[in-house]
A and B are shown apart, each in its own frame.
Chain A
């Protein structure tokens, strides 16, 4: 009788203490493994992030800077902060994979003398991307310049909403060869657009921006090693 009782108690201990203990340990280990997998995935997603950032002033003497952000990865990226020198501006901009966005203009304090602006962004996954137009230089009297690469930076700003298509055409003056001939469609309330046209060699180039049949601006710019980046500003105020 007591043997049976002892055996029952032993089985009871086994089923109510020992087995639940091992099951609990197994669950906790699974939680750990799941966290490891999630963190690996998060790290992989972070590594995948690839964003091109271009900071640009809205016109030659404006104190507002916008950012053209091109998401070059398949994941949706959230921009949480924009840094201009040592100040940051919090934001929450979601950019789907292989898409682009223009930020709302940021007011910066323009100095009385010359100053340099470094712009970068931070993503929610903990990546920082510097603007490819860094450093932007502001010179009192002559306005903005900057960008260290051979390029023509075209800035189109507009003061109305809706869908509109612009054509940006850059040709070499010497042989009329086409460097860029792109159509750009702005939708909704996108206030501005930035296009960086990479140049292979210093030369004089003709930049022509049209909206439909309307010529908005045509300008010849000279790209040299001394001033490798030329800015062309277009303000479209007519719908």
Chain B
């Protein structure tokens, strides 16, 4: 009974317990917050680096160009020899202008023919710019031939 009524020894114990409880609560909150922030930062960082890796992994060429006099269409064959799929737009400048900015998807290792409608004449000199959606650019030139 004396122990229960002796309040002098009880106060530091309660204070310690309360303090530990507060430290634990705040500590676990900080731990949890830090953990989620770290995971989120990791994901963001990975996504950013992955975007850069994909951008530097892109490789494509203008493999062939031909002009169809009957349909007035410039056919541009793009070969994606890189390791990632690409989406490309084709812009034609020079004596005549045209474009195909529909973000044509070309899987890696595949060739795709891009059709660019334009009305060109024999001898017209064209500058072809192929731009990927990751901002890589490849250039080619073409002179419209008679056949």
Contact = CB atoms under 8 A, between A and B. Distances in A.
For this complex, into which size category does the number of interface residues on chain A fall?
20 to 34
A21 B20 contact: no
Nearest to A39: B56
A13 B31 contact: yes
Contact of A1 (B19, B41, B63, B147): B19
Contacts of A31: 49, 53
B142 interface: no
A25 interface: yes
A126 B59 contact: yes
Contacts of A24: 42, 45-46
Contacts of A204: none
A126 B81 contact: yes
A80 to B, nearest CB: 8
A36 B117 CA distance: 37
Nearest to B41: A21
Interface in A8-41: 9-10, 12-13, 16-18, 20-21, 24-25, 28-29, 31-32, 35-36, 39
Contacts of A124: 81, 109
B38 A81 contact: no
Interface string A145-161: 00000000000000000
Interface in B41-87: 41-42, 45-46, 49, 52-53, 56-57, 59-61, 63-64, 66, 75, 77, 79, 81
11 contacts: A1-B16, A2-B19, A9-B24, A9-B28, A13-B35, A16-B35, A17-B35, A25-B42, A35-B53, A124-B109, A126-B81
Interface of B: 16, 19-20, 22-24, 27-28, 30-31, 34-35, 37-38, 41-42, 45-46, 49, 52-53, 56-57, 59-61, 63-64, 66, 75, 77, 79, 81, 109, 111, 147
Given A31-B53, A42-B59, A122-B79, 18 more contacts: A1-B16, A5-B23, A6-B23, A9-B24, A9-B30, A9-B31, A12-B31, A13-B34, A17-B37, A28-B46, A32-B49, A35-B53, A35-B57, A81-B63, A126-B59, A126-B79, A126-B81, A128-B61
Nearest 9 interchain pairs by C-beta: A9-B27, A126-B81, A2-B19, A86-B66, A21-B38, A2-B23, A17-B34, A17-B38, A35-B53
